[in-house]
Amino acid sequence: MGHANLNRLREDTLYFSLQGSIEQPHNKIHLIVGGAGHFGDNDTSAFDPIFHLHHCNVDRLWAFWQHIYPDYVAGTEGYLDIDGMTRHPFMQSGGSFSESSDQKIDDETPLAPFRKSNGAYWNSRDAQYLGGQASTLPQKYYTYQPIGPVHLNVSTPLSQAERSRQRAYLQRHFDPHYDDYADILELDPVMNTPRRFVLTTSLSQTAFRGSYMLKVFMGEAEIGSVAVLGRRESAKCGNCQAQRKGNVRVRGVVPIPHPAVVGAVRGLAEDSDVMDAIRSSFRASLVLPSGRVIARFALGSRGGLSEETDLPDEAKPSVRLFSCSVSQPTLEENVGETPHGFGNWFDHGPIDNRGWCKAI
């Protein structure tokens, strides 16, 4: 969660560009819970009561992030290009009832039709924290049970050390509980350096005329998924049409569980065999919200047996493998537990996508 270097929050690094978005768990809940029903369809999801419960929880998770990174407002610097370094401003393609076509969107863009008491429209910066208005806004700053020994005082700015300590509690609370790295090393000495492996994916938003999921496997175990919350071709909104015209793709990140990595490399005699063993163990499938599998992938497969069974190039997911070292930094202040950090990122290159074929 968050940036690798708290001193340089806006630094463009490989770490920064590999971070997942809260949009991904948001989209996955829509498809997993909604299936082929109202909640799984962009045009009708708000008519399902669980929509509001879901979005309240998204706001809650986002509030955790804002609390740890109070001086960072998402969207103020645009989005990263495919090179991971160049930034472009967000634009309102096609326009809306309150915005012109190709209007720049940032944290000061009016959030029509919502107005403040003085008649001006709210904007994203206004709504981020609501300043010191907590006493007059009883719904603001309510909370659930504390996570760890953390007692919030919103009127007191957090020190960097305290932010790191609270980030550690959030990591421990929300992260899956796998074997310790020490146990992994003891289990298989070929993993002589503890590293975290991550897949990044790029998926077509329009190839299947609606929503679908990429499910990734190592061996027989599903290790993660990426959701595309799409719209039907009949959707007439300006943004939908602009995305179809621009062949917009959906980016996702799949952290590979440590036990899956250990299983892939168990018994190897040489360190040099590790990457080949990991890469060759991947399988994947594309699945509709109804559960129907529409395409499959296996590394080394020749793809479809004919043009009728081969998946079109524009519909094939693009997948790359990365890894990083894992460490637990020491802070100058005595604040107890510190969060795990990730550094020394390495790009292991793309996973060959020629093995994709339509499910028959």
pLDDT value, residue 354: 78
Task: Report which of 314, 150, 278, 286 is spatially closest to residue 215, judged by C-alpha positions.
Answer: 286
68-87 confidence digits (pLDDT tens): 887 776 666 777 666 656 77
Q: Which long-range contacts (CB under 8 A, 24 or more apart) does 93-100 make?
A: 93/238, 93/239, 93/242, 93/243, 93/246, 94/237, 94/238, 94/239, 94/241, 94/242, 95/238, 96/238, 96/239
With respect to residue 97, please indicate whether it lies within any of the assigned structural domains: no
In this prediction, residue 136 carries a pLDDT of 53
Residue linked to tokens 């270097």: 5
Cβ atoms of 353 and 199 within 8 Å: the answer is: no
81 within a domain of the structure (yes/no): no
Q: Report whether pLDDT(13) > 60.
A: no
pLDDT classification of 249: cutoffs 50, 70, 90: confident
Nearest Cα neighbor of 15 from 346, 355, 359 is 346
Which range has the worst mean pLDDT, 100-104, 268-272, 345-349? Answer: 268-272
Q: How far apart are CA 351 and CA 347, in angstroms?
A: 11
What is the reported pLDDT for 26?
Answer: 95
Count of structural domains, the chain? 1
| Cα 257 from chain centroid (whole Å) | 16
Answer yes or no: is pLDDT of 331 > 70. no
pLDDT tops 70 at residue 303:
no
Q: CA-CA distance, 92 to 100, in Å (whole number)?
A: 7
Residue 7, domain member (yes or no): no
As a whole number of angstroms, the distance between CA 335 and CA 338 comes to: 8
In a domain, residue 136? The reply is no
Instruction: Provide the pLDDT for residue 5.
Output: 40
Q: Which two tokens stand for residue 310?
A: 């081969």
Q: Tell me if 135 is assigned to some domain.
A: no
Polymer length in residues for the chain: 360
Tens digits of per-residue pLDDT, 142-161? 667 777 777 777 777 788 88
Any domain includes 30:
yes
CA distance 159 to 1: 18
**Token representation of residue 99:** 């915005």
**Rounded alpha-carbon distances, angstroms, from residue 78 to 63, 93, 241:** 20, 14, 21
Residue 271 CB contacts under 8 Å (≥ 6 apart), including other chains: 190, 192
Q: How confident is the model at residue 293 (pLDDT cuts 50, 70, 90)?
A: very high
- Tell me the mean pLDDT in the region 180-206: 68
What digits encode the pLDDT tens for the residues 17-67?
567 888 999 999 999 999 888 898 888 898 999 999 999 899 888 888 888
Q: Which amino acid is at 5?
A: N
Which of the given ranges, 117-126, 169-178, 212-221, 262-271, has the highest pLDDT on average?
Answer: 212-221
**pLDDT over 50 at 8, yes or no:** no
Beta-strand relationship, 293-298 and 341-350: unpaired
How far is CA 152 from each of CA 51, 97, 137, 176, rounded to the nearest angstrom? 28, 40, 17, 25
Q: Has residue 82 been placed in a domain?
A: no
Note whether residue 21 is domain-resident.
yes
User: What's the start-to-end Cα distance of the chain, in Å?
Assistant: 40
Q: How far apart are CA 308 and CA 46, in angstroms?
A: 38
Neighbours of 114 (CB within 10 A): 11
Higher pLDDT, 98 or 347: 347
Nearest in space to 22 (alpha carbons), one of 91, 81, 85, 69: 69
Q: Residue 214's domain spans which residues?
A: 14-70+157-358
pLDDT at 286: 96
**Average predicted confidence (pLDDT) for the chain:** 77
The two tokens of residue 71 are 């001086």
Residue 36: what pLDDT? Answer: 84
Q: How far apart are CA 237 and CA 151, in angstroms?
A: 44
CB 283 within 8 A of CB 298: yes
Q: Is the peptide bond before 113 cis (omega within 30 degrees of 0)?
A: yes
- pLDDT score at 264: 84
Write the DSSP symbol of residue 351: P
